[in-house]
Amino acid sequence: MRNIYSVKYSEFKKHIMGQGYPGFHADNVFRWIYSRRVKDFSSMTDIPLSLRSYLNDNFEFRLPEVVDKRTGPDGTTKFLMRLEDGETVESVLIPEKGHYTFCISSQIGCKMGCKFCATGASGFVRNLKHFEITGQILRLLENVDDRVNIVFMGMGEPLDNPDEVSMSIEVMRDWVGISPRKITLSTVGLVDQLEPLLKKFPNLRIALSLNFASEEKRTEFMPINKKYPIKRIIKVLGELPIKRRDRITIEYVLIEGINDSEKDALALGNLIKGLKVKINLIPYNENEFFPWKSPSYEKVEKFASILRGMKYSVFVRFSKGNEIKAACGQLRAQRG
Ligand code: SF4
């Protein structure tokens, strides 16, 4: 039987019209599924009984299965979910002031091979389908209310899977009720795919995982920089039609002795001059897979103060969930 979550709205509408039902029932069914999050056709009281029975006979509700769930002292909860082919994917629920942030994955593994990332080290398995992306969100929504922000910062590079990511954002916007304004897509800078997506979703938030201000160092740690060098990314970001109050987030993971010097801070500040940005500094989340260390608190503060001195908004974000292996790709890597 077909998984109802895998069926696109246009296809579903056509399908039920082919069975002799008016198309507006498709809207109602989708509202039950995504906005009321009902997992049983029989409960859809405004749908004709015969259609409910037809749907029961032909479709099933199959969301990713939660196989591991770990909550840290700050309430951050890491979920490992199993997909229909047995592959597993990670999602994290982070409680914030007045809302929750869902950190979700767009791929199993990743092709980008960043030298400080457990997902990158574990290689690439496959792209996630749109319903496997929204499936993570629907599962997380079972735990909390609707005040959520979504960040594509879990496993994978979302712009390396642009069609399925785009489809999932469409479902979130049209049916789950999550505006693209509440969705942040974090990318290493695949700018060719960025522009079409922003045309479709002009309010989508963008975060650039920059991490280095020098081309050489970035290429050494993030091989994708050969194809999409910093210079090109910055030029494209500078030309994006960003609304007056909006900002692009620049993510910078601070690694001791690698990219955390005062010179690095100045180089970063100069590099992004003129862009409408805010900067997130993320001290490296130490783990057993890599030798890299997180800089001292004083060093992080010094780095931040240099950028603040250059009039940037700077936020230091300690990676939440260290104790529960919430850094990108770690839980999956640990379970082998
Ligand atoms: S940091 Fe992001 S883009 Fe780089 S390897 Fe990890 S998941 Fe991929």
Structure tokens at 84: 């229909």
pLDDT over threshold 90, residue 288: no
Which residue has the CA at smallest separation from atom 7 of ligand 1? 156
pLDDT over threshold 70, residue 224: yes
Under the phi-then-psi rule, with left for phi > 0, alpha for psi from -120 to 50, and beta for the rest, what region is 327?
beta
Residue of 91, 105, 119 to mutate, ligand 1, most atoms within 8 A of C-beta: 119
Q: Does the annotation mark 110 as catalytic?
A: no
Q: For 178-217, b where at least 16 C-beta lie within 10 A, e where not — what string? A: bebebbbbbbbbbbebbeebbeebeebbbbbbbbbbbeeb
* 224 DSSP 8-state letter: G
Residue-wise pLDDT for 87-114, tens only, equals: 999 999 999 899 999 999 999 999 999 9
Pairing of strands 205-209, 88-96: unpaired
Class of domain 2-60: mainly alpha
Residue-wise pLDDT for 119-156, tens only, equals: 888 889 999 999 999 999 999 999 897 799 999 998 99
Tell me what the pLDDT averaged over the chain comes to.
92
pLDDT at 24: 97
- Spatial contact of 291 and 256, defined as CB atoms under 8 Å apart: no
Sequence-distant (6+) residues with CB within 8 A of 247 are 276, 277, 278, 313
Q: pLDDT band at residue 325, thresholds of 50, 70 and 90?
A: very low
Torsion angle of the four alpha carbons 103, 107, 111, 117, in this order, in degrees rounded to the nearest 10: 30
The structural domains of the chain, with segments of one domain joined by +, span: 2-60, 65-335
Whole-angstrom distance, CA of residue 261 vs CA of residue 149: 33
Lowest mean pLDDT among 8-12, 133-137, 300-304, 315-319: 315-319
Distance 9 CA to ligand 1 centre (A): 31
pLDDT at 328: 53
pLDDT over threshold 70, residue 44: yes
Domain at 65-335: CATH code = 3.20.20.70
pLDDT at 245: 62
Identify residue 197 by its one-letter amino acid code.
L
pLDDT at 247: 92
Identify residue 249 by its one-letter amino acid code.
T
Ligand 1 pocket, Cβ-based, cut-off 6 angstroms = 110, 112-114, 117, 119-120, 155-157, 188, 328
Atom of ligand 1 nearest to the CA of 107: 7
pLDDT at 241: 76
- Spatial contact of 264 and 254, defined as CB atoms under 8 Å apart: no
Distance 22 CA to ligand 1 centre (A): 45
Q: pLDDT band at residue 336, thresholds of 50, 70 and 90?
A: very low
Distance 243 CA to ligand 1 centre (A): 28
Find the mean pLDDT for residues 242-261: 88
Closest CA to 105 of 334, 329, 330, 336: 329
Whole-angstrom distance, CA of residue 150 vs CA of residue 132: 15
pLDDT over threshold 60, residue 166: yes
Atom of ligand 1 nearest to the CA of 155: 7
